[in-house]
Structure formats: structure tokens, C-alpha cells
């Protein structure tokens, strides 16, 4: 067995997995705050990436400014969607929430298609791409920067939830909306903030994917479906779970791509996370770190 090959696969898996972790974190933040399942997460990522690309290449705005503008745009998009579409649905049946986010994902996908077309658009190189050697394995610098960005962002998010007043209020909302309300926390505001944060985090994922792949197209929206095995593995309401799950699924995907794909002639990489999803649901339906639910009539 070729060790370099395995290492290469694992490192690729870590990179992709860290982006999964990021998007999954966005997913979990929304689910924790408002128990809404956002199936349009992948579209948030795509919209963020396209918006940033537009600023970079059409308007020639420097990278850091472009990123800040993209963040602002994503935040506004998230808040608008929460205010206009999700808030009227609070308390309604689960299928309504699932379908409304599916409808939303259709709308966002269609808008991107209308504005940018379906061709792959090259993404400007942000990080130097010259490879560096880690042990025997050459790794693109872009990969390392991506992992670095994700780590920093996750650390920022963790300290936000741990130390800032808003973050604590959001955690309070997640654990009990009624208690939070009686303590004077505006639950509506927390919902809006969770959507804004989630959209921002997803847009970072989109930009990182764009720089790593060197181009973006409509397939970015599939990340929203890829993230489902991740959150199921980690537990739907655990940010730590999202991160661990993201890395595991990313590595699993790349390993099965490297070892199973040659045996079956491709396609195993795409389907492996979903087989994992079924197995997790069978044996550990609340994931690694998820909270067990007790049902009452």
C-alpha cells in the first residue's frame, strides 16, 4: 500500500472536510436556534461565491474589501429570508419548512443561473498555489490557507458563542425559547442573527471552494446536500459535531474515492457519504454529539 497516496487522500479529505464542517456549522446554527432545516444552505454558499467573484473580477475590488462586502450581502440575504419566509412559518408543520427551503433553493439557483449562466467561471487566484511539502506529500498552499481560514473562523464562532452577550443569548434561545423570552431576550432577533451568521459562514465556504477549485459553477449548490450526512453524523444540534462530522465525512469521501472508485469504475466517492448517513441513522440516529429527544403526546 502506497503511504503517500493514502496521505494525499487524507489531506484532500481534511481540506474538503473542513469546508463541509464550515457549511455544516451554518446549518447547525440555524437548526439550533429555530429548529428549521435549511436545505438551501448549498445555495447560500453558491450565491456568496458568485457575488464575491462578481466584485473581484467585474468591479476589480481588492480581495479583503470584496470579502467584507460579500459578508454584508450574505448577512442581509439571510436576515431577509428569515424575516420574509421563515418567520411566518414558525410553529407550522415540518414539511412546510422543508419544502419552503427547497423552494428557496430553486429560486436562488434560478437567480444565479439567470445572472451568470451555467458555465464554469474562473475564480481569481487569491492564495499562492505553489505546493509545499508536508513529509513526502506535496500540498497546495491554497489548501493550507483554506484549513487555516476554517480554523480561525471556527475559533471566532466558538468564542462568539461563549463570551459575547449576543452569543450567550443565542445559546439561551437554543436551549429554551420560553425561558429566553422571559429573560428579556428577543427570540426573533436571535433567529435573524442565526440566519445572518449562517449565510456569512456559508459564503466563506463558497469563496474557499472557489479558490481551491479555481472556478465556480452551479454544482456548488450540491454542497447543501453533501452537508446532510455531516450533520447527521455529528448530531443536528451540535457545532462540535458538525466540525468533527465534516472532517470525518470529507476523509471518508476521499478514501472511498481513492480505493473503491477504481473497483467499481467511479461514483463511489459521491455515494459513500449517503451510505454512511443510512448506517448512522440505523445505529445512532442522534449522531455523535446530538441531544436525544423524548417524545410526549
Partner 1 sequence: MRCGDFKTSYSADMTIFESNTARVMLGLFLCLLFSLPLYTPGYVLDIVNRIGIAVIGAVGLNILTGFTGQISLGNAAFMAIGAFSCGYLGTKFNLPFYVCIPLAGLLTAFFGMFVGIPSLRIKGLYLAMATLAAHFIVEFLVVKWDSVTGGVAGLSIPVAQVGGFAFDSDRRIFYLIFTISIASVLFAKNLFRTKVGKAFVAIRDQAISAEVMGVNILKYKLLSFGISSFYVGVAGALMAYQAKIISPETFPVTVAIDYLGMIIIGGLGSILGSIYGAVFITLLPELLRLGTSALAGPFPLLVSKLAAMKELVFGLFVVIFILFEPAGMAARWHSIKNYWKLYPFSH
- Sites of contact with partner 1 (CB under 8 A): 37, 85, 88-89, 92-96, 98-100, 102-107, 109-111, 113-114, 225, 228-229, 232, 236, 264-265, 267-268, 270-271, 274-275, 277-278, 281-282, 285, 295-297
Residue 116 beta carbon to partner 1: minimum distance, rounded to whole angstroms = 10
Residue 195 beta carbon to partner 1: minimum distance, rounded to whole angstroms = 16
Residue 68 beta carbon to partner 1: minimum distance, rounded to whole angstroms = 29
Please answer whether residues 52 and 102 qualify as being in contact, where contact means their C-beta atoms are separated by less than 8 angstroms: no
Residue 246 beta carbon to partner 1: minimum distance, rounded to whole angstroms = 16
Number of H helices, E strands in the chain: 12, 4
Please tell me the distance from the alpha carbon of residue 54 to that of residue 70, in angstroms, as a whole number. 10
Given the complex with partner 1, which of 111 and 183 has the nearer CB atom?
111
Cell output for 209: 471552494
Please tell me the distance from the alpha carbon of residue 221 to that of residue 111, in angstroms, as a whole number. 13
Task: Look at phi and psi of residue 265 and say left if phi exceeds 0, alpha if psi is from -120 to 50, else beta.
Answer: left
In this structure, how many other beta carbons lie within 10 angstroms of the beta carbon of residue 69?
A: 15
Given the complex with partner 1, which of 17 and 229 has the nearer CB atom?
229
Please answer whether residues 46 and 215 qualify as being in contact, where contact means their C-beta atoms are separated by less than 8 angstroms: no
Which residue's entry shows cell 454542497?
223
Q: How many CA atoms lie within 13 A of 110 on its CB side?
A: 6
Please tell me the distance from the alpha carbon of residue 192 to that of residue 86, in angstroms, as a whole number. 10
Given the complex with partner 1, which of 10 and 225 has the nearer CB atom?
225
How far is the first Cα of the chain from the last one, in angstroms, to the nearest whole number? 55
Given the complex with partner 1, which of 6 and 225 has the nearer CB atom?
225
Given the complex with partner 1, which of 85 and 172 has the nearer CB atom?
85
Residue 115 beta carbon to partner 1: minimum distance, rounded to whole angstroms = 9
Given the complex with partner 1, which of 23 and 185 has the nearer CB atom?
23
Which residue's entry shows cell 466584485?
55
Given the complex with partner 1, which of 3 and 94 has the nearer CB atom?
94
Residue 253 beta carbon to partner 1: minimum distance, rounded to whole angstroms = 13
Amino acid at each position: 500500500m502506497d503511504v503517500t497516496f493514502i496521505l494525499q487522500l487524507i489531506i484532500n479529505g481534511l481540506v474538503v472536510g473542513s469546508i463541509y464542517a464550515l457549511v455544516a456549522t451554518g446549518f447547525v446554527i440555524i437548526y439550533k436556534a429555530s429548529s428549521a432545516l435549511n436545505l438551501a444552505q448549498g445555495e447560500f454558499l453558491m450565491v456568496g461565491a458568485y457575488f464575491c467573484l462578481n466584485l473581484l473580477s467585474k468591479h476589480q475590488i481588492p480581495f479583503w474589501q470584496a470579502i467584507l462586502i460579500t459578508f454584508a450581502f450574505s448577512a442581509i440575504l439571510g436576515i431577509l429570508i428569515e424575516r420574509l419566509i421563515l418567520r411566518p412559518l414558525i410553529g407550522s408543520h415540518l414539511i412546510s419548512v422543508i419544502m419552503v427551503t427547497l423552494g428557496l433553493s430553486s429560486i436562488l439557483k434560478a437567480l444565479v443561473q439567470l445572472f451568470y449562466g451555467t458555465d464554469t467561471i474562473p475564480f481569481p487566484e487569491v492564495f499562492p498555489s505553489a505546493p509545499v511539502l508536508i513529509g513526502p506529500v506535496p500540498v497546495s498552499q491554497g489548501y493550507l490557507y483554506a484549513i487555516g481560514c476554517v480554523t480561525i473562523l471556527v475559533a471566532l464562532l466558538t468564542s462568539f458563542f461563549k463570551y459575547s452577550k449576543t452569543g450567550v443569548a443565542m445559546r439561551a434561545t437554543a436551549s429554551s425559547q420560553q425561558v429566553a423570552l422571559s429573560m428579556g431576550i428577543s427570540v426573533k432577533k436571535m433567529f435573524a442573527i442565526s440566519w445572518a451568521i449562517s449565510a456569512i459562514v456559508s459564503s466563506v465556504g463558497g469563496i474557499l471552494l472557489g479558490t481551491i477549485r479555481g472556478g465556480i459553477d452551479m454544482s456548488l449548490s450540491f454542497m447543501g446536500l453533501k452537508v446532510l450526512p455531516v450533520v447527521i453524523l455529528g448530531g443536528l444540534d451540535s457545532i462540535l459535531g458538525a466540525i468533527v462530522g465534516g472532517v470525518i465525512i470529507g476523509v471518508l469521501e476521499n478514501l472511498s474515492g481513492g480505493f473503491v472508485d477504481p473497483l467499481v469504475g467511479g461514483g463511489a466517492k459521491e455515494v459513500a457519504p449517503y451510505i454512511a448517513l443510512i448506517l448512522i441513522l440505523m445505529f445512532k440516529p442522534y449522531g455523535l454529539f446530538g441531544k436525544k429527544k423524548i417524545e410526549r403526546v
